[in-house]
């Protein structure tokens, strides 16, 4: 791997994904450094979620190689793969909470499956995780259908963080949250990243998140990464979509 | 990466320092829990106990919480145990877990005998509600049908044809196959037993009456309840879960008229057709077996069949079909609309749609049998 970032936690090489005749990702390369928060933006329908799902292994790819934690996911044995899966957490766009389990059971589910710990610790950890995502312990015995959209997002994050993963994928985490909640959420992601040495791969449309939470930004267009760098690099870019995105009305409002 | 976690006890003056070291992370949670539980017993044995975490190489929520739990249980007689040597990296994490309430809330949802009895009681008391719900839906469907009769433009022909294709046309192969096989089996069994009395030919009477009056329609109705009743419940249920039905209502459409009426109509049209095809397939199968296994020539079979059955048997079978279809449809739609937010609820209601559908079909069949017997048909 000479000439590449040595501490990349995710390394994506020449990924091609095709649905029928439509090529969604076309020879895409991407590195995510350990400990950074990478904001991933791009026009709607550009394939941001597809890339996330390809890395996680939910979408089959035509060609290319994906390494997570230095493990080539195609070559990995089932137990190696499980080891990787234990070390990442995923927040799906719609939360994807198990609708027949309570909030408590949802958060405890991965812990119960992977670690042999007492019910007391399970409960305490669950309360701690709920606190971390800004929810009160009283919601623990509610079912997902009894939660508001923002609460579902928070519970889903708590579940993604249940095993204290090293890497989290967040698919539009702040969509559907009120501005204050979204701000808290960005702050929370920052805190967790600092304290746990977390690496965050965040698909987002929220300019606030890009400014306040992200270390680096990658932009997807035409099936490739068209730009990657700091927010300043993005603002300096002459790419038409980037200019529109970072110099539009909303962007000016955020920058104040 | 760092090694296994440890918690050493080191005496310091008249106090004690618990020195945590290694990787205090989720991976080692079971070990950590045991170590902390052991150390908690030290509470109150020394006047001054502190926790030294300067050697901890890695800390996550699990480790931080267990250290916090240890600190709380060592706090004794108003003297707070201190955490020393905390690196700046982890201080915010420890602050975070410090806010966790000491007493975790208790799971109240345990399974108990009284709870089970209560559930049975509620289920029994709910039977009345179920019947009212069915009558309610029947009324709503009839009202919607009347509304459509007055304003035929509101009738959803495309939707009805689509559902007709789903529940009728696509069901033909399986219905014909199963009724054909049942016809074969009835015929074979009949011949096998009737032969002892030399009454082989009467198998035609039995087959004709049984298939046209009862088996044809009953069997097909049960198959339709399992095949289409469950599909209706699942479709409507998942639409309910995703608020699609609410969306329809807020746009000024009546969900009964848009979703349920076309489905009901398709089912009411489909079941007589399927029952007829099923009866024919069963007669054909029975005739085939009677010929190949029982040696009854096709001409003799048809002649005997003409004598044995009248048009009444056929009419009785076909009158029952649309009524059974209506019962299956109503049950399926009521169940579909009572689905709550969870996947589990969808499964429960789909199950109960099929179970109740089949139950009511058999009850209806019994009621019809009494009715036709008393009017002499």
Percent of chain A with pLDDT over 90: 0
Query: For A123-137, A151-165, B41-55, which range has the lowest pLDDT when averaged over its residues?
Result: B41-55
The domains found in chain A, sorted by start residue, are: 37-57+78-255 (3.40.50.300)
Q: Which of B217, B204, B212 is nearest to B175 (CA)?
A: B217
**Residue A197 backbone zone (phi > 0: left; psi -120 to 50: alpha; other: beta):** left
**Residue A46 backbone zone (phi > 0: left; psi -120 to 50: alpha; other: beta):** alpha
Which pLDDT score, from 0 to 100, does residue B1 have?
46
pLDDT over threshold 90, residue B271:
yes
- Name the residue facing A127 among B89, B100, B342 (closest C-beta): B100
The whole-angstrom separation of Cα B101 and Cα A125 is 11
Query: For A190-204, B169-183, B235-249, which range has the lowest pLDDT when averaged over its residues?
Result: A190-204
Test mutation, A87, A122, A124, chain B, max B CBs within 10 A: A124
The whole-angstrom separation of Cα B270 and Cα B265 is 8
Which pLDDT score, from 0 to 100, does residue A154 have?
85
- Name the residue facing A117 among B29, B101, B105 (closest C-beta): B29
How is chain B split into domains, by residue range?
6-98, 115-374
- Name the residue facing B26 among A146, A163, A191 (closest C-beta): A163
- Name the residue facing B92 among A116, A128, A191 (closest C-beta): A191
Query: Which tokens hold the place of B336?
Result: 């579909």
C-alpha distances (whole Å) from B243 to each of A82, A99, B137, B337, B342 are 36, 15, 20, 11, 13
pLDDT, mean of residues B271-275: 95
Which pLDDT score, from 0 to 100, does residue A114 have?
81
Highest mean pLDDT among B1-5, B29-33, B330-334: B330-334
Q: Which of B205, B201, B26 is nearest to A163 (CA)?
A: B26
pLDDT over threshold 80, residue A175:
no
Element (H, E) at A230: none
Which pLDDT score, from 0 to 100, does residue B291 have?
93
* Contact by Cβ (8 Å): A142, A197: no
Q: Which of B334, B229, B311 is nearest to B271 (CA)?
A: B229
Q: Which residues of B touch A141 (CB under 8 A)?
A: 105, 107-109
pLDDT over threshold 80, residue A129:
yes
Highest mean pLDDT among A136-145, A160-169, B246-255, B291-300: B291-300
Confidence of residue A3 (pLDDT cuts 50, 70, 90): very low
Percent of chain B with pLDDT over 70: 95
Confidence of residue B105 (pLDDT cuts 50, 70, 90): low
B148 touches chain A (CB under 8 A): no
Percent of chain B with pLDDT over 90: 49
- What pLDDT digit, counting tens, does each position of B28-85 carry? 888 888 888 887 777 666 767 778 877 778 788 888 888 888 888 777 666 677 777 7
Place of tokens 């618990």: B18
Which pLDDT score, from 0 to 100, does residue A256 have?
53
Q: Do the Cβ atoms of A128 and B100 come within 8 Å? A: yes
Task: Give the residue from chain A lying closest to B57, CA to CA.
Answer: A196
Q: When comparing pLDDT for B85 and A170, which is higher?
A: A170
Task: Give the residue from chain B lying closest to A145, CA to CA.
Answer: B341
The whole-angstrom separation of Cα A136 and Cα A104 is 12
Which pLDDT score, from 0 to 100, does residue B90 have?
77
Topology annotation, domain B6-98:
Transcription Regulator spoIIAA (3.30.750)
Q: Do the Cβ atoms of A196 and B92 come within 8 Å? A: no
- What pLDDT digit, counting tens, does each position of B111-162 carry? 788 888 998 999 898 888 889 999 999 999 999 999 999 988 888 899 999 9
DSSP A21-75: TEEEEEEEEEEEETT-EEEEE--TTSSHHHHHHHHHTSS--SEEEEEETTEETTT
pLDDT over threshold 50, residue A2:
no
Test mutation, A86, A111, A122, A128, chain B, max B CBs within 10 A: A128
What value does the CA radius of gyration of chain B take, rounded to a whole number of Å? 36
Q: Do the Cβ atoms of A195 and B89 come within 8 Å? A: yes
* Contact by Cβ (8 Å): A89, A160: yes
Which pLDDT score, from 0 to 100, does residue A170 have?
87
Q: Do the Cβ atoms of B96 and A131 come within 8 Å? A: yes
Q: When comparing pLDDT for B205 and A121, which is higher?
A: B205
Q: Taking the mean position of all CA atoms in its chain, how far away is CA B279? A: 31
* Contact by Cβ (8 Å): A167, A87: yes
- What pLDDT digit, counting tens, does each position of A72-114 carry? 888 888 888 888 888 888 888 887 888 888 888 888 888 887 8
For chains A and B, CB pairs below 8 A equal 90
Which pLDDT score, from 0 to 100, does residue B371 have?
93
pLDDT over threshold 70, residue A166:
yes
Which pLDDT score, from 0 to 100, does residue A1 have?
36
Confidence of residue A207 (pLDDT cuts 50, 70, 90): confident
pLDDT over threshold 70, residue A254:
no
- What pLDDT digit, counting tens, does each position of A34-82 carry? 888 888 888 877 788 888 888 888 888 888 888 888 888 888 888 888 8
Q: Which residues of A touch B242 (CB under 8 A)?
A: none
Tell me the residue ranges of DSSP E strands in chain B. 6-12, 15-24, 49-59, 82-84
Backbone angles phi, psi at B22, to 5 degrees: 90, -155
User: Looking at the predicted complex, does its ipTM rise above 0.90?
Assistant: no
Q: Which of B188, B178, B190, B189 is nearest to B215 (CA)?
A: B178
pLDDT over threshold 80, residue B350:
yes
Confidence of residue A236 (pLDDT cuts 50, 70, 90): confident
Q: Which residues of B touch A127 (CB under 8 A)?
A: 100-101, 104-105
């Amino acid at each position: 791997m000479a000439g590449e970032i040595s501490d990349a936690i995710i390394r994506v090489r020449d990924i091609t994904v095709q649905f029928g005749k439509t090529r969604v990702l076309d020879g895409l390369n991407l590195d995510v450094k350990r400990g950074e928060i990478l904001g991933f933006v791009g026009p709607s329908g550009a394939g941001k979620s597809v890339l996330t799902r390809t890395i996680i292994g939910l979408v089959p790819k035509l060609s290319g190689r994906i390494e997570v934690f230095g493990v080539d996911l195609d070559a990995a044995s089932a137990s190696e793969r499980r080891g990787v899966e234990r070390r990442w957490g995923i927040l799906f766009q719609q939360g994807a909470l198990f609708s027949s389990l309570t909030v408590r059971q949802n958060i405890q589910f991965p812990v119960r499956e992977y670690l042999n710990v007492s019910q007391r610790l399970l409960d305490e950890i669950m309360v701690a995780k709920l606190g971390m995502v800004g929810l009160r312990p009283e919601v623990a015995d509610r079912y997902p259908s009894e939660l508001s959209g923002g609460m579902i997002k928070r519970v889903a994050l708590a579940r993604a963080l249940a095993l204290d993963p090293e890497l989290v994928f967040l698919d539009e985490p702040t969509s559907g949250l009120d501005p204050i909640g979204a701000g808290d959420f960005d702050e929370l992601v920052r805190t967790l990243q600092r304290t746990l040495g977390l690496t965050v791969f965040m698909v987002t449309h929220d300019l606030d998140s890009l400014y306040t939470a992200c270390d680096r930004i990658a932009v997807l267009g035409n099936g490739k990464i068209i730009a990657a760098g700091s927010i300043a690099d993005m603002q300096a870019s002459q790419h038409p979509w980037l200019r529109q995105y970072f110099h539009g009305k909303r962007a000016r409002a955020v920058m104040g | 990466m760092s090694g296994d976690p440890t918690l050493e006890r080191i005496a310091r003056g008249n106090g004690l320092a618990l020195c945590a070291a290694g990787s205090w992370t989720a991976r080692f949670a079971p070990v950590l829990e045991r170590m902390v539980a052991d150390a908690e017993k030290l509470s109150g044995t020394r006047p001054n106990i502190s926790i030294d975490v300067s050697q901890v190489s890695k800390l996550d929520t699990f480790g931080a919480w267990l250290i916090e739990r240890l600190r709380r249980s060592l706090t004794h007689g108003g003297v707070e145990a201190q955490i020393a040597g905390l690196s700046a990296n982890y201080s915010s994490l420890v602050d975070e877990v410090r806010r966790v309430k000491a007493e975790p809330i208790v799971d109240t949802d345990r399974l108990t005998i009284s709870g089970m009895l209560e559930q049975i009681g509620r289920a029994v008391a709910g039977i009345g509600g179920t019947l009212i719900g069915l009558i309610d839906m029947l009324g709503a469907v009839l009202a919607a049908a009347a509304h459509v009769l007055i304003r035929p433009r509101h009738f959803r022909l495309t939707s009805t044809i689509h559902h007709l294709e789903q529940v009728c046309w696509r069901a033909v192969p399986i219905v014909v196959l199963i009724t054909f096989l049942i016809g074969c089996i009835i015929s074979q069994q009949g011949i096998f037993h009737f032969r002892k009395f030399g009454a082989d030919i009467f198998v035609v009477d039995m087959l004709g009456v049984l298939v046209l009056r009862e088996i044809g329609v009953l069997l097909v109705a049960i198959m339709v309840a399992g095949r289409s009743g469950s599909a209706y419940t699942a479709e409507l249920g998942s639409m309910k879960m995703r608020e699609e039905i609410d969306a329809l209502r807020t746009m000024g459409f009546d969900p009964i008229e848009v979703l349920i009426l076309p489905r009901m109509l398709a089912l009411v049209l489909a079941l007589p057709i399927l029952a007829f095809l099923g009866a024919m397939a069963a007669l054909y199968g029975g005739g085939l077996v009677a010929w190949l296994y029982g040696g009854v020539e096709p001409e003799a079979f048809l002649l005997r069949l003409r004598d044995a059955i009248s048009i009444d048997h056929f009419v009785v079978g076909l009158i029952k079909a649309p009524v059974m279809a209506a019962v299956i449809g109503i049950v399926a739609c009521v169940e579909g609309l009572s689905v709550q937010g969870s996947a589990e609820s969808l499964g429960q209601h789909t199950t109960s749609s099929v179970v109740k559908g089949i139950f009511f079909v058999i009850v209806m069949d019994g009621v019809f049998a009494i009715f036709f017997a008393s009017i002499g048909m």
